[in-house]
């Protein structure tokens, strides 16, 4: 397990809090529709929830999990939080980027990845829709639109 400690402070507040993002080691999925893939879980303290991250090999699952954590932290920075080093409290340098642009780039990267079979792409995109595109959430419509976008390469193209 990887544990990333950091201080989180709202720019208009005097107090900060020590938080931890954790990423579990990748594990091979042995049953269900994602059999043969690998999964990591990322725990986000402000969401108080674990998010499953999948890929076709353990290294990519771990990479995708770290990217997910980075994008989440960038989103916090966009919303006015300061994220600082746990020991020195020196602020982290996080690029402020529109989360929808980031999301679009990640989905396009999956769709256009020549190392993944179309079946693997469909599995990964299906998991994204199942995880973020069903329940009412701020990104539900964007996830569904980006995954179902007819201008992007689809099965058989």
Query: Do 78 and 103 fall within a single domain?
Result: no
Query: Do 113 and 139 fall within a single domain?
Result: yes
The dihedral of CA 53, 138, 99, 120: what is its sign?
Answer: positive
pLDDT recorded at residue 153: 42
29-77 per-position pLDDT tens digit: 999 888 898 999 999 988 888 989 888 899 999 998 998 888 888 888 8
Where a domain ends, among 42, 58, 93?
93
- Boundaries of domain holding 8: 1-93
Query: Do 88 and 102 fall within a single domain?
Result: no
Query: Do 62 and 113 fall within a single domain?
Result: no
Query: Do 1 and 60 fall within a single domain?
Result: yes
pLDDT recorded at residue 139: 65
Query: Do 64 and 13 fall within a single domain?
Result: yes
Q: Which positions ≥6 away from 6 have C-beta within 8 Å? A: 18, 19, 20, 21, 73, 83, 84, 85, 86, 92
Where a domain ends, among 93, 118, 145?
93
Query: Do 19 and 43 fall within a single domain?
Result: yes
Q: How many domains does the chain have?
A: 2
pLDDT recorded at residue 154: 42
Is the pLDDT assigned to residue 90 strictly greater than 50? yes
Query: Do 104 and 87 fall within a single domain?
Result: no
Helical H segments across 31-139, by residue range: 58-78, 99-112, 118-132
Where a domain ends, among 59, 77, 93?
93
Query: Do 102 and 150 fall within a single domain?
Result: yes
Query: Do 87 and 150 fall within a single domain?
Result: no
Tell me the angle at which helices 58-78 and 99-112 cross, rounded to the nearest 10 degrees: 160
94-127 per-position pLDDT tens digit: 777 776 777 788 788 888 888 878 888 888 788 7
Query: Do 105 and 42 fall within a single domain?
Result: no
pLDDT recorded at residue 155: 40
Query: Do 85 and 142 fall within a single domain?
Result: no
């Amino acid at each position: 397990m990887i544990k990333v400690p950091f201080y989180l402070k709202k720019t208009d507040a005097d107090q900060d809090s020590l938080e931890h993002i954790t990423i579990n080691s990748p594990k091979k999925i042995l049953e269900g529709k994602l059999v043969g893939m690998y999964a990591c879980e990322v725990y986000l303290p402000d969401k108080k929830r674990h998010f499953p991250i999948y890929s076709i090999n353990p290294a990519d699952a771990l990479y995708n999990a770290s990217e997910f954590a980075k994008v989440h932290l960038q989103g916090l920075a966009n919303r006015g939080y300061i994220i600082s080093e746990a020991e020195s409290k020196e602020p982290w340098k996080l690029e402020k980027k529109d989360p929808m642009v980031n999301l679009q780039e990640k989905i396009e990267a999956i769709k256009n990845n020549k190392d993944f079979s179309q079946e693997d792409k469909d599995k990964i995109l299906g998991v994204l829709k199942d995880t973020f595109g069903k329940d009412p959430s701020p990104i539900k419509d964007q996830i569904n639109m980006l995954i179902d976008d007819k201008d992007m390469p689809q099965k058989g193209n």
